[in-house]
Structure 1
């Protein structure tokens, strides 16, 4: 949505408009605003093996050291990755451009939290989701899923607090995202993330028979550890929204919610699918009608 809106606004940069797409969007005019667009859009290089991603912005901003108001717009060099993934040796898919700028305004999110009434039926959901959004890292557009990191190297999935603590103990920032309860949104580079996973595998080794040559797991675990990471609990690993017991990730609306099983029918003592029972139904009915007519 942000990319489409930004594209439309750049075409009409001399106007100051307000669009209505379930939210109010304030538009600022000026050619310079359009030039900032390229720094907020990025191509994504996504590894087909381990899922590691790298962003390549369409444009860069260079601020004058003497006068911070003077900004020079440039085109970046690249790509940011080689032909093969440095972690697992597999090729990349290229996607995008995606919006790589901030996704929300912390001040606006806080204002909504302050003004939301507890009388609303959905207050707990609003409170939980917005609290997670407020805790998200603004300068990190994408995230990892913990179970996918573990699945790539076939290792036992570590507790979320342990991984978050390891990242924080290494001096990096980390947060959840409201999109996924097992998300890891961090400014730590990919080599640090995989090094932490190697540390975890060292403490929880996998069966050697699962390591097949030239697979992502084999290539990642074959590398030596750059350093040892501590999984000791970090004070900031547990976010405030979780400590306060907010409804951070929405539950299914009803028990057993979602697609059900195929309809079945009892035929004698056997349970068969209705679709199978109804095969040739019209022919059988026509045959029965013909038989009844002949008897008459």
Structure 2
């Protein structure tokens, strides 16, 4: 009994010493221990080997190797920003309901709600608990954060970090497989308002349980770092994980986002649920999506009309979108039918009409807008109104990326303007000249946060190729001398120019983010780039539910 009591006191003293070591002020405690004849050499040495890292308002301690990637700070800062806005919107909704007490009652039982609109958050794959701690410390109106992990060491580390940050009243720890934890909370009275999935690699195995444990109008936040799979290096793996195929195209990062969104909605549809994308980001070495999950069989039926495939030419890289379903509204009648195939890109020989090369089909993928412009505008307003002393570590980059996202045209996929120029072997014209010509012709154009050379437009391919034919004509490009007769560019330049192309500078051709000199794209080189090596002791996500472990 005495030994157990001493052990508890020693553990408590270790925690105090770790906090003191963080503050570089542990001499008074050592004097106290000496006066009480407490042996502290071992405790002091352990406290000194503790590595403390602070990000935002949260501190995390690591014994031995540190599983922390500073490049991912942007991911966590973006998540905190989105959750702040999500929580604020919920509080406003709660206030509006109090002011309108005569509204008809809901037919279905909802998740147990507090009248103040506070939220419950699940950090399903918590590791060190850094995300959960930041949510508790930096996001307002948080009722409870649950940090879950299937590693014994991770759970013990999270417990220590909770005490280190003094958030015992807000953060609770769960040991368990993330899928099992989420399934345990699929009941309407147990669901979370926000669920964060940030796995090592693909999140595909967690999506089915995740869409079931999010409350109605709750938010699901998903990261995937398996970009080689999502960007077309291994189409067979992409099919196994996301039920879609893709190939290596210049817009592969947006394709990755749309494949992931379609996969999430497909899982949600099985439970008469559907998603509303709020922000979808492809950045650094991962994709990150924030979607609101809704419930409703009627709206869930619309999901088929949001999905489709894309035809991609292997020669000139031309693309065409092919929807999966067509929605027909006739008065009060709503019907769905398969679309009639009228490919403008394929000729009688099923080859590309522009260059005569073979065409591939990729998808299915999500075709509707992948961002909510009102929500993104709210995020920007929140960032701009944040006092300098309260700004997050990646504040300037958040502003730049979200401003670029807010300017994106709501059309699927994009080209690279220099890629199209290279097809016809001309000197790459300035991006502002290409954008001006598109705008002067009456079409819309924008960039993309995915790629600094992106050309996102609603202009038809016939006009785009006429644009580059006009550049070739103005620069006296001789296709007979410069191009191989069998090449895609040779055939494209052989077509007659049918559209009027005007390269006069258009004032709208320069993006607002560039005008304000915002940080839009970060150099993808340097220390800590890419996902860190998987933590030792981690269990493969597909096997986690079949493991046996004991935690005291």
Are 2:336 and 1:73 equivalent residues in the alignment?
yes
Q: CA deviation at 1:79?
A: 5.0
- 1:286 corresponds in structure 2 to none
Distance 1:175 1:25 in 2: 23
- 1:41 corresponds in structure 2 to 307
Distance 2:431 2:288 in 1: 34
- 2:265 corresponds in structure 1 to 6
Deviation by residue 1:225-255 (Cα, 9 ceiling, x = unmatched): 103301010121112111111112223465x
Pairwise CA RMSD of aligned residues?
2.4
Matches within 5 A, 1:155-194: 155-194=426-465
TM-score (norm 2): 0.43
Are 2:295 and 1:29 equivalent residues in the alignment?
yes
Q: CA deviation at 1:26?
A: 3.0
Paired residues of 2:274 and 2:300 also in contact (CA < 8 A): no
Distance 1:14 1:175 in 2: 32
- 2:415 corresponds in structure 1 to 144
Distance 1:49 1:32 in 2: 42
Distance 1:10 1:184 in 2: 33
Q: CA deviation at 1:100?
A: 1.0
- 2:517 corresponds in structure 1 to 245
Deviation by residue 1:165-187 (Cα, 9 ceiling, x = unmatched): 00000000000000011110000
Are 2:351 and 1:84 equivalent residues in the alignment?
yes
The 3 A distance-change label for structure 1 pair 258 and 3 is: closer
The 3 A distance-change label for structure 1 pair 252 and 211 is: closer
Paired residues of 1:106 and 1:134 also in contact (CA < 8 A): yes
Q: Indicate the structure with greater helix content.
A: 2
Deviation by residue 1:20-72 (Cα, 9 ceiling, x = unmatched): x97664322233223211111111110011000111000112233xx4x6433
SS in structure 1 at match of 2:509: coil
Are 2:492 and 1:220 equivalent residues in the alignment?
yes
Distance 1:243 1:74 in 2: 45
SS in structure 2 at match of 1:63: strand
Paired residues of 1:143 and 1:186 also in contact (CA < 8 A): yes
SS in structure 1 at match of 2:309: strand
**Structure 2 gap segments, 5+ residues each:** 1-259, 276-286, 531-552
Distance 1:25 1:244 in 2: 29
Deviation by residue 1:72-112 (Cα, 9 ceiling, x = unmatched): 32210115242111111111011111111100101111111
SS in structure 1 at match of 2:320: strand
TM-score (norm 1): 0.78
Report how many aligned residue pairs link the two structures: 250
- 1:58 corresponds in structure 2 to 324
Distance 1:196 1:178 in 2: 24
Paired residues of 1:56 and 1:79 also in contact (CA < 8 A): no
